[in-house]
Amino acid sequence: MTTQVNGVKITPKMGEVLSKWFNYSHDEDVYPIYYCGLLEKIQDYLCRNLDHHNEIEEIKEMLLSIISIKDDFRMLIPEKNEQD
């Protein structure tokens, strides 16, 4: 069974993940916040070491992917005024 929210189909498996992500007692426990922090650390590391590798184009592509994923996760984190 799927549910639709604003035209987006939410499957039971997607619902389980969203429930896991947003059923928390402290803001820092939200999975997207954790994932954003982790991706930011990886992004920073790759940016600092970009000049030390021969495969610069491949690393740039990976970095752009990380930034895109991080930005998507950031959009999943509700603002304080959206949580009520």
Across residues 5-16, what is the average pLDDT? 85
Q: What is the pLDDT of residue 10?
A: 85
CA distance 69 to 43: 11
Across residues 66-70, what is the average pLDDT? 87
| 15-47: pLDDT as tens digits | 888 888 777 777 666 788 888 888 888 888 877
Confidence of residue 84 (pLDDT cuts 50, 70, 90): very low
CA distance 18 to 31: 9
Higher pLDDT, 61 or 27: 61
pTM, full prediction: 0.58
